[in-house]
Amino acid sequence: MATRKIRGWWNVDLYWNGVRYRKRSPLNTRMGAEQYEIQLRQELLSKGSLDHLDPTRAEKPLTFGEFAERWMLEYVAVNNKPSEQKAKRGQLRCHILPRFGEFALNEITNGEVERFKAELLGKKLCAKSINNSLTILRKCLVTASEWGLLENVPRIRPLRTARPTYRYLQQEEEMALLSAAKPFRFWYAAILLALRTGMRFSEVSALAWKDIDPSRGDATVRRANVRGHIGPTKTYTVRRVPLSTDARAALEQLVKNDEYVFGYGGKPLSYHTAYEWLVRLCERAGIDPCGWHDLRHTFASRLVARGAPLRAIQELLGHGSLDMTLRYAHVGQAELVAAVALLETTPSTWAQGGHNPPDGAKTHTKTEALATAISRWN
């Protein structure tokens, strides 16, 4: 019999798949032990063992730290580029794991996340850095939910951040920089290519001679160099970028003794070296220092200011969405400035008299205001 009385108390004693289980009945009666046996057999049918009923053998809940390591190995390493993997591991190590590493997955609640945000703010981290941590935390928890390890993902609200401003070179700054770089053919060509194509520095440094087609007069952007690792572009796309006449001429002056257009000894140009040279050339040109991404901003801003379609600019820049390209629409503010300038240039006598100005005067005033506004922005 599976139920028996041992030392004055009813127990259930049974075998399942070669394993013996002996459990003390909650009720010290024969009927209570028989009911308990039925319950145990149902547990065995559904779960295959009774370990979950033994506090000493029950499986411990998975902690966030344990899952995060699995997530890095099985998800991030498979789906993210090396630079993204490094960024995620850094955020986990510095901010997320010290706070949530010992938490069970289901213990990370909305309240705990809000306390986490408050702690990071207390450490004087900027909103963008905090949002980066929150994004990684959320993605990790969402993956746990998709893998059936977490029932409810807490709602994670990012901090509000101000819209970033972008530096782009004025026309005279651009001319001064190119003039300063002219004696250095290598750097002149690299800077001019960035200004005329809007390529990211990672794409400029990964550009190979085989990617340039002189017959078509364009360059195929297919790879990116991120910290010495050559991989796909940021948006995993391949695009063709037309080369301006002066950019083609500058490239023709370079010596083609390397796989990469801007390479040393078979290796692509490093960002650290390129940035140092760009800063030196800015000093030589007598302008404020700028970064390589500012040259990309300059390219986009010039096109917007001159009325290029945003869809065309999106394709040239390799943006994944039009929203990214719309960041450069700030150059269109010149039209708003011109509109307000119409009020400033209207003679006060017309306003006082309540009469409309003559047609010729209106046209002259509008043209003058537009010219003044555009000159300010350009």
154 is written with which tokens? 């807490």
Distances (CA, A) of 125 to 158, 183, 234: 14, 43, 26
Tell me the average pLDDT across 57-81: 87
Report whether pLDDT(374) > 50: no
Give catalytic status of residue 302 as yes or no: no
β-bridge mates for residue 104, sequence order: 63
CB 32 within 8 A of CB 10: yes
* Catalytic entry in 30, 185, 293, 366: 293
pLDDT digits (tens, 9 = 90+) for 114-169: 999 999 999 999 999 999 999 999 999 999 999 999 989 999 999 998 777 778 89
Give catalytic status of residue 296 as yes or no: yes
Domains and CATH numbers, the chain: 3-53 (no CATH), 64-146 (1.10.150), 171-320 (1.10.443.10), 332-377 (no CATH)
* Catalytic entry in 88, 196, 223, 319: 319
Between CA 319 and CA 239 the distance in angstroms is 11
CB 164 within 8 A of CB 126: no
What is the reported pLDDT for 55? 58
pLDDT digits (tens, 9 = 90+) for 215-272: 999 999 999 998 888 999 988 899 999 999 999 999 999 988 889 999 888 889 999 9
What is the reported pLDDT for 370? 43
Report whether pLDDT(361) > 90: no
What is the reported pLDDT for 334? 61
Q: Calculate what percentage of the chain has a pLDDT beyond 90.
A: 57
What is the reported pLDDT for 54? 63
182 is written with which tokens? 């002219």
Between CA 126 and CA 118 the distance in angstroms is 12
β-bridge mates for residue 90, sequence order: none
* Catalytic entry in 139, 167, 234, 267: 234
Give catalytic status of residue 200 as yes or no: yes
Residue 194 C-alpha from the chain's centroid: 21
Report whether pLDDT(371) > 60: no
What is the reported pLDDT for 366? 46
Between CA 260 and CA 193 the distance in angstroms is 14
Look up residue 211 and give its DSSP letter: G
Distances (CA, A) of 56 to 10, 53, 104, 155: 22, 9, 18, 34
Residue 279 banded pLDDT, cuts 50, 70, 90: very high
CB 233 within 8 A of CB 203: yes
Between CA 37 and CA 138 the distance in angstroms is 44
Residue type, 203: E
Report whether pLDDT(91) > 60: yes
CB burial of residue 32 (10 Å; 0-12, 13-18, 19+) = middle
Report whether pLDDT(68) > 50: yes
Among 161-165, 196-200, 274-278, the range scoring the smallest mean pLDDT is 161-165
Give catalytic status of residue 293 as yes or no: yes
pLDDT digits (tens, 9 = 90+) for 8-52: 888 888 887 778 888 888 888 888 888 888 888 888 888 777 766
Output the average pLDDT for the chain.
86
- 371 phi/psi in degrees, rounded to 5: -65, -40
* Catalytic entry in 36, 188, 260, 328: 328
Maximum separation of any 2 CA atoms in the chain, in Å: 115
Three-state DSSP state, 123: coil
What is the reported pLDDT for 369? 47
Residue 156 C-alpha from the chain's centroid: 17
pLDDT digits (tens, 9 = 90+) for 302-356: 998 888 998 999 999 999 888 888 877 665 566 667 778 878 755 554 445 554 5
Closest CA to 201 of 262, 267, 282: 262
β-bridge mates for residue 14, sequence order: 21
Give the predicted TM-score (pTM) of the model.
Answer: 0.65
Q: pLDDT higher for 170 or 55?
A: 170
* Catalytic entry in 88, 95, 99, 200: 200
